[in-house]
Amino acid sequence: MKSSSLPAQGNLLEWNSLIAKGDLATIQRMVERGDLFYKDKLGECGLSPLHLAVWHNQPEVCRFLISHKISPSVEEGFSLKTPLHIAAYFGHLEVADVLLELGAKVTGSKARDFLGCHPMHYAALGEQEKMLFLFLGMTHLIGPTGSKPDFTPKTGCTIGNILDILIRKQNFDLCDLISSSVGISIVETNPRRESTLYVGYGNENTWTPFHSAAVLGDKRIVEMLVRKFPYAYCFCEEFAHLFDYSPSDVALMEGCTEIAKILEGVKTVESCRQALNCYSPKANAPAYAGDLLKAILERDFILLDKLIVEHGDGILYLPNFDESDRGFYREQKDLNAISLVSRLFCFSFAEWVKKRNILIPPAAFLERDTKELVFFNWLMLDQQPYATGFFKKVSAEIAQLS
C-alpha cells in the first residue's frame, strides 16, 4: 500500500496505514483538500482518526489532529472510550501528555465510557504503573481543570476501583504499591465522600478490594491488605449487620476457609452458603433447574458439565429462578443462572467458562441487576465486551488490515 494515495473519507484501511506510519504530509493534504475527517467514524467500533493515532502511539499525529478540530475527548462509537482511555491502557505516556495538554478530561462525565470507567481504570486494566501515578497525581487535591474532581456516586465504575482491577489481574507488586500510595480510601466501601482523592469509584454496593481478594482466594494479597488496613470499615461489627456479606463470607462462598480465618470469619462454608442462598426454581421451571442452582451454590462443576452436555449452555441464560423478598437486590424475579453466579459470588465460574471455551454473549453483561454489575463485570473482566473485549475487538480488526 502506498502512503501517498489519498484515502476515501471513512476508509479504515487507508487511515490506519497513514496514521501507523505517522504520515503527516498526506494527512495534511487531506485537510487542505477539505475532507471533514474529524467527523469520521471508522470501522466496527466507530473509531476516530485520533483514536487510531493514540493506538499507534503517534503523539505528533495526535497534536496535529486536535489542532484541526478533533476533540481530545472524542468518543468512539462502540463503548464510548476517549483517546485517553486507550493511551492509559497501553501506557502511551507521551501521547497522554499531548492529550492532557490539549484538554482531555481525566474525570467527570466527559471522561466516562459505557461502563462508567475513567482512563485510570484502563491504566489499571493494562497494569500501567506510571500511567496510574499520573492520574492519581492529577486527581489529588484539585481536578485537572483546577476544581475538585467529579467524585460522586454517579462516577461509580461497574468493574470496581483501580485496586479491585489490579487484584483481579493478580498483580501483587502493583497492588502493594498502589494501596500504600493511596491509603485507606482505596479499601473503603464509600471512600471518603468528601475527600478530593479519586480512586476509581464511590462504591455504594458494599464491595471492597478486601472482598475481591477474598473471593479470589489470594492469600498473599489478603494478608498484605490486612496488614496495612486492619481497621477498615468492612471489619467493623456493624458491617455484617448492615450489609449482606463480609469479605470472609465471600471467601467461604468459594470454600476458601484459610482466607476466611485470616479475615476473622466465624461461619462455616455450609452455614454461609445456606444464609446467602435465598433462591429457588420457579414453579414452571424445567426439572434441571434445581440441579443448576445446586451446581452453582456448591461449586459442583462436574454436575454443571453434565447439565451443559445434556441441555446446552443456553440454560445459563433462561429466567428459571426467583428470589425471596430480602430487599438487597432490585430485581428479584425472572433470574437466570448468570444472576445466581453473581449473587452467590461464584468466582470459580470464570475458570470453568475459560476451560470450556464458553463465550458469554454481550447481552448477558447488559441484563444484570445494577447491584450484580460490579461483581460480574469484575469476575468476567477478560471477556467483558466493553472492557478487555474492546481492545481485543479493535486489535483483531486492525490485524485484518495487514
Residues 339-395 have pLDDT tens digits of 999 999 999 999 999 999 998 998 888 877 777 888 999 999 989 999 999 999 999
pLDDT of residue 1: 34
How would you write the pLDDT of the chain (402 residues) with one tens digit per residue?
Answer: 334 344 444 578 888 888 999 999 988 887 777 664 556 788 889 999 999 999 999 999 999 999 988 899 999 999 999 999 999 999 999 999 999 999 999 888 888 999 989 999 999 999 999 999 999 887 643 333 444 444 343 446 788 889 999 999 999 999 999 999 888 878 876 544 444 444 444 444 578 899 999 999 999 999 999 999 998 888 877 776 667 789 999 999 999 999 999 998 889 999 999 999 999 999 999 999 999 999 999 999 999 999 999 999 999 999 999 988 665 666 677 899 999 999 999 999 999 999 999 989 988 888 777 778 889 999 999 899 999 999 999 999 999 886
Residue that is last in its domain, among 104, 123, 144: 104
Neighbours of 197 (CB within 10 A): 16
Give 21: exposed, middle or buried? Use CB within 10 Å, 0-12, 13-18, 19+.
middle
What phi and psi, each to the nearest 5 degrees, are found at residue 230? -70, -15
Distances (CA, A) of 225 to 130, 189, 233: 22, 14, 13
For the chain, the domain total comes to: 2
**Closest to 364 in 3D by CA, of 318, 305, 298:** 318
pLDDT of residue 321: 95
DSSP assignment of 163-188 equals HHHHHHTT-HHHHHHHHHHH-GGGG-
Residue that is last in its domain, among 82, 104, 126: 104
E-strand stretches of 213-341: 279-281, 321-323
Q: Is residue 16 in some structural domain?
A: yes
Task: Tell me which residue range forms the domain holding 300.
Answer: 278-343+346-387
Q: Is residue 309 in some structural domain?
A: yes
Q: Is residue 241 in some structural domain?
A: no
Cell of 189: 466501601
Q: Is residue 331 in some structural domain?
A: yes
Cα–Cα distance measured from residue 160 to residue 294, given in angstroms and rounded to the nearest whole number: 28
Cα–Cα distance measured from residue 274 to residue 128, given in angstroms and rounded to the nearest whole number: 40
Q: List the end-to-end C-alpha distance of the chain, in Å, as a whole number.
A: 10
Residue that is last in its domain, among 73, 104, 135: 104
Q: Is residue 14 in some structural domain?
A: yes
Q: Is residue 304 in some structural domain?
A: yes
Q: Is residue 329 in some structural domain?
A: yes
Q: Is residue 396 in some structural domain?
A: no
Cα–Cα distance measured from residue 199 to residue 202, given in angstroms and rounded to the nearest whole number: 8
